[in-house]
Structure formats: structure tokens, C-alpha cells
Homo-oligomer: A and B are copies of this chain.
């Protein structure tokens, strides 16, 4: 494969995770090792910033800032939910693609690294295909990112380990709290977690269970249809035994008819997905109405995906490695792939990175296998625990100042624009 000389552009897309910036740090650190890569640019707010020719010069950033990206939540380059949608908006999509290649050409971009989830990998795939069609030499590699852990062909996704480490810790802490309050009738606490249609995050909190009576006592995953009667019976059983029942529910929990119990169907995000909220409140309504038990809800929301202060060191290392692997693959001549995490053994945990064609990734969702959950569907079983346990190992040495974390903030020195504004 002939050496390709030019500049590298890295961008982030979709909902941030605690470690998406660690992947950018990996891309940046690795890029510096390869002479074929000239400048390292960042696209602000994903595709949207690139369309607007809003690029920054990452080589202007301090080395300390790049190091700090390893433990900085949010998307340091900015992110966006913007879809180049050939199906629904073919005209706009054609314009967008033309504009992207105008920007690439104007800044001699030959390497494009895009960190994101399903939809973002789809965008990367389209850019790769277009480059081939045009004969524009460009190496496109996707960097996996999603707390939802629903990308196919990768053992797991960077971001997932940190969110379940934080959420499992929160379940332990809330369990110690509510379990210590004596109540005559007993009580419930419902913790709503993210994950959309996949239950990986909800099930991951079962790592908090050291003994059978530990919380969570029930984890409700969207993969298994919710049945009010069996759920209430199980809650009553737990409260009868322990006086207190901690339930973790995935935001995308569905009933037998396939309707999300907490969906607000009137709000859609830019990808057309319903904005989910309220599964915990719905369950609390059921419990209070039918079982007359005091029930409190917790909705961790964005706190869970941004909780860098208790991120998994394993997750950070893997996210960083996905960034370095992406650059190495591109330098070696690969394009049109997403980096994957490949598990070599569970115990001791060993992993490496791999590559999967982007066409296999885009818009495919990966769910919890049914036989990784208990027969009654209320808790994950040992297969899931064996899978999830290594992903939360290790703590960061988070720098703090005056009692609070110190995060990296990019200076974002803009490149001079070379094109007329986007039409």
C-alpha cells in the first residue's frame, strides 16, 4: 500500500461518554508518531463543524491538555446529532457530501477518524464509499463510542465500562442508604438508567451484587417485555424478605406490545428516535397504586455518562487504544473500517483491537442474548457477569483542585477558512 501523505481530521459525534476524549487523545498521540501525517486537525461538533469549515489545529494545544483528555467528560471537540440522510433528505445529503469533500480537499485531509455510535459509523461509512467513488485518496476509520454498548462486532464499546462502574457503585450506595431505613411496610427505590433499546447498562448494575440479597434486586431490560403482574409479584416477594427493593430500569423498557413504557412519543431527536424518560416514574406509579409501598425514584440521566470522576481505568485504556489503533490502521492503508475490541480471555482479562468493515456496523444494534439473563428475566446471570466484570476494573488518579476534578479544555485555535460559507 502506497504511503498517503496529508493531514488528519478527528471529530466526535453523538452523545458523549466519560471516555470519548480518551479516544481523541489516542488519535492525537499516535498521529504524532507517523511522518505521513502532517497536521492534526479537529472538527468542531462533528460533521456539522466540518460542513461549516470549523476546524481547529490540535498541534497548537498543550501536551498537558491532551493528557487531561483521558479523564475529561463531554466531547472536547464538541459533538452533534446530525445525519447525512440519503433516504429522507437525498438532496441535502448530496449537498452535504459535496461540501465535506470540498473541505477535505481545501485542507488536504487524507485521514478521517470519526468517534461515535451506530449513526455516526453510518456517516463514516458513507464518506468512505464516496471517497472511493470519487477516487479521492482518504482513509476513514471509525472509533467506537457508546455507553449503550449496542454496536455489533465489537466485544463491547468504550464508554460502557465507565457507566456501569459508576452506576453499580451508585446502586451499592443507594442500597446501603435505603436498606438502612426501617419502615413498617417496606419501601422501594427505582433507579432509571440509560441505554435506549438495549439493557446492557441496566444489567451492568448487577455487578453491585456481591451476595444474593444485595441490590439491585431486579433489573428490567428492554430486551425482555415488561409484565406488570409478574413484576409486582417479584417486588412484593423481595420486600417481604428484605423490607426494601431496589429496582434498576433501562429507560427503553417495553411492554409486550413493544411500546416503551416511559416514552414520550411527541419528542423525537434529530435521528428520529423518541426521547425516552419516565420509565422509573411509571413503575413507581404501578407500585404505589397496587402495592401501596413508599417508592422513590432516581434518574441519573446525563450524570451517568459524564461521570469521569469514577471512570473505569480499563475503559479509559481501551478507549485510548481504539484511537491509536484507528490511526495505525489508516497509516497501514486501511479505510472503511471501525476499530473493534476483541476479548482474548476473561480471566485474566486480555484484549486487543481488531477491525470490522463499517458496512457491517451501521444501524445494526446488538442486544443482550436472552440466555445471559435469568429465566424469569429479572437479573442477568453468570454469563453476563463474567462478560461485564473485567470492564469496570481500575480507578483513575483523577487530578483535583480545591476539591473538584480538573478537566482538560481545548484552546481551539481555529484554522483559517478557505472556502465560501456553506450554502
Q: Are B301 and A301 in contact (CB-based, < 8 A)?
A: no
How would residues 32 to 47 of chain A score, 1 for a CB under 8 Å from any chain B CB and 0 otherwise? 0000000000001110
Quick check: A308 and B173 within 8 Å, CB to CB?
yes
- Does the CB pair B303–A300 fall under 8 Å? yes
Which residue among A72, A180, A208 has the maximum number of chain B CB atoms within 10 Å of its CB? A180
Q: Known A208-B404, A303-B174, A312-B403; judge A180-B297 contact (CB<8 A).
A: no
For A, the interface residue count at a CB cutoff of 8 angstroms equals: 68
Q: Which of A8-55 contact B (CB under 8 A)?
A: 12, 15-16, 18, 44-46, 48-49
Residue A83 lies at the interface, judged by CB distance under 8 Å to chain B: no
Binary interface encoding of chain A residues 198-218 relative to chain B, with 1 for a CB under 8 A from any of its CBs, else 0? 000000000110000000000
- In the bound complex, residues from chain B placing their C-beta under 8 Å from that of A168 are 404
- CB distance B182 to A79 under 8 Å? yes
Are B176 and A72 interface neighbours, CB within 8 A?
yes
Q: Nearest B residue to A401 by beta-carbon distance?
A: B210
| CB of A217 to closest CB in B, whole Å | 15
Copies in the complex: 2
The answer to whether A298 and B297 have CB atoms under 8 Å apart is no
Residues of B within 8 A of A320 (CB): none
Q: Is the CB of A303 within 8 A of B298?
A: yes
8 Å CB contacts to B: which residues of A339-366? none
Could you say which of B45, B165, B176, B306 contacts A176, with CB atoms under 8 Å apart? Answer: B306
From A58-66, A93-101, A391-399, give the one contacting chain B.
A391-399
Nearest 6 interchain pairs by C-beta: A74-B176, A45-B182, A298-B301, A173-B306, A392-B403, A75-B180
